[in-house]
Amino acid sequence: MIKIQKVYNILYSKFGDLEWWPIDKKYHIKNSTDPRFEIIIGAILTQNTAWSNVEKALINLKENGKLDIKSIIEIPDLELKKLIKPSGFFNQKSKRLKKISKFLFEKYKSDMDLFFKKDTKKIREDLLEINGIGPETADSILLYAGNKPVFVVDSYTKRICKRLPIKTEITYDSIQKHFENNFSNVFDKKDLTKIYNQMHAMIVELAKNYCKKNPDCKNCPLKKYCKYEK
């Protein structure tokens, strides 16, 4: 099995610095809203859909001035469903957006600083108690909105871990623990959030462009080390 640091170095040479999560900074400056809430919304909307569909839904929310906690709570259900329809599964996702908005309002008075000041483990537990928020969504919120050193595992990560392989036990917790243990032994603790962000972004790029369902093994930067093609 190939070591994670080697995979990181190869992918970094290929893709360079990748900035993720994408947010509309100008919108939030203009409207005095918190960009971290846009990440939370995006983390829910991206469930079971492509990011391009999420972008359409986010544009709808921004154009209608509904990209803050208060607006999501107050907007009628039917209107919210219409705005986020491009992201798919809009009936379920509208409920989830309402629930997390009410949670942040009722428990933290919509104060994102107060929410993310809590212990990372406790924040994760609170998020997982919200119906419709699983480990991947919770960890995306922690990493990208909360700037917490938590490695996000998605379907792309599982695919690549299985094919190379990086890990033989393909479960969320097992893969996450494997990545976090390996990276924490190599990188300084203060750099882990940035490293997890970069690694996850590079895995997404690899999976979208090379390690697809029908992979382009010939041009993959990891082909020399991958057992899948062989």
Model's pTM, two decimal places? 0.94
Q: What is the pLDDT of residue 2?
A: 87
| Among 110, 145, 180, residue at a domain's last position | 145
One domain for residues 182 and 163: yes
Q: What is the pLDDT of residue 1?
A: 80
| CATH assignment at residue 162 | 1.10.1670
Contact 127, 138 (CB under 8 A): yes
Single out the residue of 161, 149, 141 nearest to residue 222, CA to CA. Answer: 161
For the CA atoms of 168, 169, 173, 175, the dihedral, rounded to the nearest 10 degrees, stands at 10
Domain that holds residue 13: 4-19+150-219
Q: What is the pLDDT of residue 20?
A: 87
Which contiguous run of DSSP H or E holds residue 31? helix 25-31
Per-residue pLDDT of the chain (230 residues; tens, 9 = 90+): 889 999 999 999 999 999 889 899 999 999 999 999 999 999 999 999 999 999 999 999 999 999 999 999 999 999 999 999 999 999 999 999 999 999 999 999 999 999 999 999 999 999 999 999 999 999 999 999 999 999 999 999 999 999 999 988 999 999 999 999 999 999 999 999 999 999 999 999 999 999 999 999 999 999 999 998 76
Question: What value does the CA radius of gyration of the chain take, rounded to a whole number of Å?
Answer: 18
Q: Is residue 123 part of a domain?
A: yes
| Residue range 38-48, pLDDT digits in tens | 999 999 999 99
Q: What is the pLDDT of residue 154?
A: 95
| Residue range 52-91, pLDDT digits in tens | 999 999 999 999 999 999 999 999 999 999 999 999 999 9
Burial state string for 191-205 with b = 16 or more CB within 10 A and e = fewer than 16:
ebbebbbbbbbbbbb
Q: What is the pLDDT of residue 167?
A: 83
One domain for residues 122 and 46: yes
Count how many domains the chain has: 2
One domain for residues 211 and 133: no
Contact 15, 204 (CB under 8 A): no
- Residue 74 phi/psi, 5° resolution? -85, -20
| CATH assignment at residue 64 | 1.10.340.30
Q: What is the pLDDT of residue 19?
A: 81
Q: Is residue 55 part of a domain?
A: yes
Q: Is residue 25 part of a domain?
A: no
SS (H, E, C) the chain: CCCHHHHHHHHHHHHCCCCCCCCCHHHHHHHCCCHHHHHHHHHHHCCCCCHHHHHHHHHHHHHCCCCCHHHHHHCCHHHHHHHHHHHCCHHHHHHHHHHHHHHHHHHHCCCHHHHHCCCHHHHHHHHHCCCCCCHHHHHHHHHHHCCCCCCCCCHHHHHHHHHCCCCCCCCHHHHHHHHHHHHHHHCCHHHHHHHHHHHHHHHHHHHHHCCCCCCCHHHCCCCCCCCCCC
Burial state string for 37-62 with b = 16 or more CB within 10 A and e = fewer than 16:
bbbbbbbbbbbeeebebbbebbebbb
Q: What is the pLDDT of residue 9?
A: 96
